Structure 1
Amino acid sequence: MSELNVQEVMALIPNRFPIYYIDAVESLEPGKKIRAKKNITFNEDFFQGYFPQDPQMPGTLILETLAQAGSVLILKSPAFLGKRAYIGGINRAKFHEKVYPGDVLFCEFEIIKLKGPVGTANAAAYVGENCVCEAEFTFIVNQEA
């Protein structure tokens, strides 16, 4: 059972099809960390043009999925209710493995530092037990959404 379903996540973040990627939130500690999931299906738009002979999820979209998970975490945190989160920077992004149709991508995002409306977080994406991507995010929380 998920902590947040698709409708609850969509109520928090402004992303919509075709750039909406979170299917469910499995665990959430407001202000601290989140674990969300994305089911990767062959029906995704990006598979039509990104290596059609060897379909794989683009690394930039793995980072976007991590950012969306981070947005949910930030916007469910009491200090930021009703606001909007933005990516301020992505550092030390590393891609370890490819993500294919049929995979389930688990996204973990943990806030490690927060000063006013600016923070940093460690993020990692997994398929099963394998880390496929990791990065450090800087985020900015803006005034009312």
Structure 2
Amino acid sequence: MMHDDQILDIRRIMEMLPHRYPFLLVDRVLEFEPGQRLKAMKNVTMNENFFQGHFPGLPVMPGVLQLEALAQAGGIMVMNSLKEPLGDKVFLFTGLNKVKFRRPVVPGDQLVLNVFFEKSKLNIYKMRGVAEVDGQVTAQGEFSAAVANKGDM
């Protein structure tokens, strides 16, 4: 668990998320208020494997990967807001609503990931996410996720 005055680096993030290269899309947690909000960031570089095909000569980060980065940040927020560790459970993305893409994300950008807790019921969590570069919104949406047993998958 983290405290609100802690910044999480990549090693701590990798202890919390099961994602690995090339799908770990959160580099650092900058701010955290348990059960309220989390602010993280992803440095976007030309070395990202998706730029090979999206698009040759015009590298643009896919919008769905911006949403995935927000979902991963949301997973970190929820896991660190729970009263007990996940243990043998996993946090799964279950839905998206009101998604908008506002601006392209390109190599050299620092994608700031803001996630806000909305509500939870049983094992379902609802969040709102806003991704930004230089204070301009790039993607936003509402997310739902569930805590599930790995053995049930």
Count the aligned residue pairs: 145
Of the candidates 124, 128, 131, which is equivalent to residue 125 of structure 1? 131
The reply to whether residue 137 of structure 1 matches residue 143 of structure 2 is yes
The alpha-carbon deviation at position 64 of structure 1 amounts to 0.6
Deviations 1:91-119 (A, max 9, x none): 11100000000000000111111111112
Deviations 1:60-99 (A, max 9, x none): 1001101110111111113352242111101111000000
The alpha-carbon deviation at position 53 of structure 1 amounts to 1.3
Distance 2:150 2:81 in 1: 14
Q: How does 1:1-145 map to 2 (within 5 A)?
A: 3-79=7-83, 81-82=85-86, 83-143=89-149
Judging changes above 3 Å, is the alpha-carbon distance between structure 1 residues 138 and 114 closer, same or farther for their aligned structure 2 residues?
same
Judging changes above 3 Å, is the alpha-carbon distance between structure 1 residues 48 and 60 closer, same or farther for their aligned structure 2 residues?
same
Instruction: Give secondary structure in 2 for the equivalent of 1:14.
Output: coil
State the TM-score, normalized to the length of structure 2.
0.89
Please identify, of 89-98 and 112-121, the stretch whose mean Cα deviation from structure 2 is larger.
112-121
Distance 2:83 2:63 in 1: 31
Distance 1:8 1:63 in 2: 21
| Contact in 2 for aligned 1:74/1:80 (Cα 8 Å) | no
Distance 1:97 1:135 in 2: 14
The alpha-carbon deviation at position 143 of structure 1 amounts to 4.0
Question: Where do 5+ consecutive residues of structure 1 fail to align?
Answer: none
State the TM-score, normalized to the length of structure 1.
0.94
Instruction: Give secondary structure in 2 for the equivalent of 1:78.
Output: coil
